[in-house]
Structure formats: C-alpha cells, structure tokens
C-alpha cells in the first residue's frame, strides 16, 4: 500500500495481534509516522480556577504534541480538505478510546464553518478509528477562542447548545487540538450543568 503522507509504497509489518485479534491497519509508513511526537505534557486548568468553569472538566489527555510534522498534517487535513488523512491516526485513536463506557461526544463545528470545510474533521477521525459517538452539542459561536484574550474567553457567551437531554452518566469530549482549553471547558460546563456526572476530554494534539 501507499503511505497517505508521502505516497511511497510500504508493507505493514505482520503482528500476532493483527493475525488473531482486531487491529486497525496502519496507513502511514514508519518514516512519516515517527515524525509525530507522543505528548507527555500535563494539562493544567489554572486559567479556570475561581471562574464559572472551575471543576467543569475532570481530566484532559492529549495524545500528540504540536510539531512541524503535525502542523503540516493539520494543514493538509483541515485546510486542504484531504479527508483521507483521517486514517493516519485511526489505530492510535482506536486503542485510546476502544472499550470506554462513557459516551463520546465530538466537539462540533459551527454550521457555517462546516460548509466551508466540507467535512467535520473531528467526526472523521472517530469514524476512521471505528469509535461510536453521539452528537449531543451544536456550536453557536463562530469566533475562534485562540484569537481571544484570556478575559474575553472567560467572559464569552456559551459556545454550545444541547441537542437533547443529558443523562446522569459519564462523558468524554473529543477534539482534534487542545490550545487554550476554552472550547473544552465551555462544552464540559454545559454537560455538567445539565446533569453529567463526570466529563473527561481527549484530544489528538496538545497545541
């Protein structure tokens, strides 16, 4: 098969797990995939202490760091609309999310941005990984939180609305990148205020 990133032909190494158990087959050669750096950063919520959002998120985990390889990947995937690249991290995401008892909720795009991008990049990452999810949120704000000051982010009107009633159970928010944390905290607060018992977040990248 051909690597989705560089186009060169490669042969995935056979493994016992692939022979006898379900395992997502890699779509990227080792030379390209090894350029992505696994994140070891601890994500703190200092900006949200003593605010309305304190305690909204229980934990956040990011799988990869933001480096040049990831910057190039995101540009190709999100802005050049190469939806096939959702497969690059399908194996990693499947292993990270498989078997979770919590309901997984992708962070949605604003409907106008979805029209511009032509596909929901967060949804496609989960679909490629074979992870079931539910659309329980709709985005109402169009502005990007990373372009706002800390004060503006904390004072912003709610970014999301619910599409249905929330059950009293655990949820996992999934997004492609964690930067300021405002998006995740806005979504988590809405879920907690509506009855969620616990809200975790998992993102592909720590920006």
**Three-class SS of residue 21?**
coil
More confidently predicted of 174 and 44: 174
Mean pLDDT (whole number) for 58-78: 97
pLDDT of residue 15: 56
Would residue 21 be called left, alpha or beta, if left means φ above 0 and alpha means ψ between -120 and 50 degrees? Answer: beta
User: 105 and 59, same structural domain?
Assistant: yes
pLDDT of residue 95: 92
C-alpha span between 11 and 106 (Å, rounded): 32
Span 142-196, pLDDT tens digits? 766 566 676 676 677 889 999 999 999 999 999 999 998 999 999 999 999 999 9
Domain assignment of residue 120, given as a range: 36-206
Number of domains composing the chain: 2
For the cut 80, the answer to whether the pLDDT of residue 48 exceeds it is yes
User: 42 and 12, same structural domain?
Assistant: no
C-alpha span between 53 and 47 (Å, rounded): 9
For the cut 70, the answer to whether the pLDDT of residue 19 exceeds it is no
User: 152 and 124, same structural domain?
Assistant: yes
Q: Where are the beta strands (DSSP E) in 24-147?
A: 59-65, 103-106, 137-139
- Please, what is the angle between helix 90-97 and helix 121-128, to 10°? 80
Q: What CATH number should be reported for the domain holding residue 45?
A: 3.40.50
pLDDT of residue 24: 63
User: 87 and 16, same structural domain?
Assistant: no
42 backbone dihedrals φ, ψ, rounded to 5°: -85, 130
For the cut 90, the answer to whether the pLDDT of residue 27 exceeds it is no
User: 111 and 86, same structural domain?
Assistant: yes
> Around 181, how many Cα atoms within 13 Å sit in the side-chain half-sphere?
23
**128 neighbors 160 (Cβ within 8 angstroms):** no
Q: Is the pTM of this model over 0.85?
A: yes
Strand partners, 175: 203
Would residue 77 be called left, alpha or beta, if left means φ above 0 and alpha means ψ between -120 and 50 degrees? Answer: alpha
pLDDT of residue 141: 78
**108 neighbors 120 (Cβ within 8 angstroms):** yes
């Amino acid at each position: 098969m051909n690597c989705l990133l560089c186009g060169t032909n490669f042969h995935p190494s056979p493994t016992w797990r692939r022979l006898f158990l379900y395992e997502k087959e890699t779509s990227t050669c080792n030379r390209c995939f090894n350029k992505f750096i696994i994140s070891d950063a601890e994500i703190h919520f200092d900006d949200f202490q003593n605010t309305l959002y304190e305690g909204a998120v229980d934990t956040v985990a990011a799988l990869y760091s933001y480096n040049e390889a990831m910057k190039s990947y995101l540009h190709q995937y999100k802005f050049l609309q190469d939806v096939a690249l959702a497969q690059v991290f399908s194996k990693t995401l499947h292993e990270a999310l498989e078997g979770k008892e919590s309901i997984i909720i992708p962070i949605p795009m604003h409907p106008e941005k979805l029209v511009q991008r032509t596909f929901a990049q967060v949804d496609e990452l989960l679909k490629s990984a074979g992870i079931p999810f539910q659309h329980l949120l709709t985005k109402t704000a169009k502005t990007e939180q990373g372009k706002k000051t800390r004060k503006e982010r904390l004072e912003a009107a709610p970014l999301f609305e619910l599409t249905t009633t929330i059950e009293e159970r655990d949820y996992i928010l999934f997004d492609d990148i964690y930067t300021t944390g405002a998006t995740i905290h806005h979504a988590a607060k809405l879920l907690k205020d509506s009855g969620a018992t616990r809200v975790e977040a998992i993102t592909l990248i720590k920006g």
